[in-house]
Structure 1
Amino acid sequence: MPCRIRHTNIRDVKIVEPHIANDARGLFFDSFDQEWFEENVARGYTFVQDQHMVFSRNVLTGLHYQIQQPRGLLLRVVTGEVFAVALDLRRWSVTFGRWVGERISSANNWQMWIPPGFAYGFHVRSDVAEILVRATSKRIATFERTVCWNDPEINIAWGMKSEPIVTGPSANGAGLPAVEVY
């Protein structure tokens, strides 16, 4: 799985850019290899659950995290484009309260590694986005928490042209000073 690892402004959040084989038939790339991931992205993680989501344009989800049994996530977009965000909630970290965002799409085939201790969310930029999230621990609803996506203290530059579609837990997040952190 020859891929390029691109480091973001937060050391532990990484972008995996695959090597894509392209010919007259179409394209091919390895989207995941556990051994390669361990050697090049992060050691000590095994993925136990895949989640598949399909959302329409302008939907915003997040910023979600699991306070107990925190989850590491490898986020990939199969169809469309999202602006994906990772927010550091590790109080001991020098980047605590900081965020990083990237455009992840089916056109660039990038993946975003979001380690445990981070909240994540994304805004759909295409008509439809099909997102795959590979997780290091199972989703447990009672442990889930949400940080307010538009908290002025965090000040995420979402770059939206209109008010997003936000429902469910994403609409009821707390501000950074009030949320439980690691």
Structure 2
Amino acid sequence: MKVSETSLPGVLVIEPRVHADGRGFFFESHHARRYADAGVGSSFVQTNVSKSTRGVLRGLHYQLPGPQGKLVTVLDGDVFDVAVDIRTGSPTHGRWTAVMLTARNHRQLWIPEGFAHGFCVTSESATFLYQCTALYDPTADRAIAWDDPTLAIDWPVSAPSLSAKDARAPTLAELSPRDLPIYAP
């Protein structure tokens, strides 16, 4: 597999080695030792699958307490995937990075604990898989406004389809430091 750093330390793009022939393809979507050697969490405790249609934007989500690291990939379709450093005291606090994840390119994105995550579907529909290092806790579920003007994320959609939670999410500046993860170098 090929592992590439993004502009945010710890957020990694992973390109698995794909074995393809006339019958289709095969690749390892996770190999504990190889991924751990690359800095990707190897203790996944929950795997989620979502399906969304074009223009659906999910995020920017995080969990506190009990932050989740996420290894995400697209099984069908195309998504614009975003990670935002929201750790208080981080030298890259408030910065974001984005990667196109598609069923054709087989890329994965590793989003460590302490980052918010969101994605927007750019194909007719997309099936999205994410493996998490902590169990989902509805009492710790949090969100940041997808259109936070300070973050200025260059989303590929101007009027996305949002959940009620995402439509009313606060901006990063509106959050108290106690509602954000702390940077630990």
**Correspondence 1:117-132 to 2 at 5 A:** 117-132=114-129
Query: Which residue identity lines up with residue 15 of structure 1 in the other structure?
Result: V
Aligned 8 A contact 1:65 1:146 in 2: yes
CA distances 1:37-69 after superposition (whole Å, capped 9, x unpaired): 1111336x4100000100011000100000100
Does 2:46 correspond to 1:77? no
- Alignment correspondent of 1:144: 141
Shift of 1:181: 1.2
TM-score (norm 1): 0.95
Shift of 1:24: 2.1
Tell me the secondary structure at the aligned position of residue 42 of structure 1.
coil
Shift of 1:170: 1.2
Shift of 1:87: 0.6
Does 2:156 correspond to 1:163? no
Gaps of 5+ in 1: none
Q: 2:32 aligns with which of 14, 34, 46?
A: 34
Shift of 1:158: 0.7
Does 2:62 correspond to 1:62? no
- Alignment correspondent of 1:181: 180
TM-score (norm 2): 0.93
- Percent of aligned pairs sharing the same letter: 35
CA distances 1:139-167 after superposition (whole Å, capped 9, x unpaired): 1011011000001011001122x411112
What root-mean-square deviation, in Å, do the aligned CA atoms of Structure 1 and Structure 2 show?
A: 1.0
CA distances 1:69-102 after superposition (whole Å, capped 9, x unpaired): 0000001100000000001011121111100011
Aligned length: 178
In structure 2, what is the Cα distance between the partners aligned to 1:22 and 1:97? 39
Aligned 8 A contact 1:5 1:41 in 2: no
In structure 1, what is the Cα distance between the partners aligned to 2:58 and 2:24? 32
In structure 1, what is the Cα distance between the partners aligned to 2:24 and 2:66? 40
Aligned 8 A contact 1:71 1:116 in 2: yes
In structure 1, what is the Cα distance between the partners aligned to 2:81 and 2:168? 19
In structure 2, what is the Cα distance between the partners aligned to 1:136 and 1:167? 24
Gaps of 5+ in 2: none
In structure 2, what is the Cα distance between the partners aligned to 1:126 and 1:42? 28
CA distances 1:82-123 after superposition (whole Å, capped 9, x unpaired): 000001011121111100011001010000000000010000
In structure 1, what is the Cα distance between the partners aligned to 2:14 and 2:83? 15
Does 2:96 correspond to 1:99? yes
